[in-house]
Amino acid sequence: MGLFTNLQLKWFPQPLAKLGSFRGQKVLVVGGTTGLGLASAVHFVDLGASEVIITTRSTSRGEAAKTKLESIARGKEECPCIHVMELDMDRFESVVAFVEQLKRQYSDDGGLDYIILSAGIHNASFGLSPEGW
């Protein structure tokens, strides 16, 4: 993004997406239990997505985020489906199982419309996962 565009956006920010602008859309938020991912998932529920899928390594964190999203969704005209899927990107086996499940559940159903990749950590110290990445 150039300097001019940066300055323009600073003084004349683009309007937020309109309510209902994601109506009928299926959105996957990888890493949607906390932080930026959960905030995005809340937005997609607010914007009318028909299905919001979040991923987690922990059943309890997944269920807590799902409860929060469902409480926001409850007041909506068209209540979206909230799904939690298991994914640990530190484990190759988990990544493969996740992709296989996605293909099984969504490839015959028009696929996904948007994918937000928000899983990650902010680590000051360098370290490798058990897989070596």
Residue found by looking up tokens 């005209």 in the block? 77
Token pair of 61, please? 């964190």
88 binds ligand NAP (CB under 6 A): yes
Contacts (Cβ under 8 Å, ≥6 apart) of 80 = 44, 45, 48, 49, 50, 51, 52, 73
84 binds ligand NAP (CB under 6 A): no
Q: For ligand NAP, which is the closer residue by CB, 71 or 129? A: 129
**Total of chain residues touching ligand NAP, rule CB under 6 A:** 20
Residues 18-77 contacting ligand NAP, CB under 6 A: 31-37, 56-58, 61
Distance from the first to the final alpha carbon of the chain: 30
For ligand NAP, the binding residues (CB under 6 A) are 31-37, 56-58, 61, 87-90, 118-122
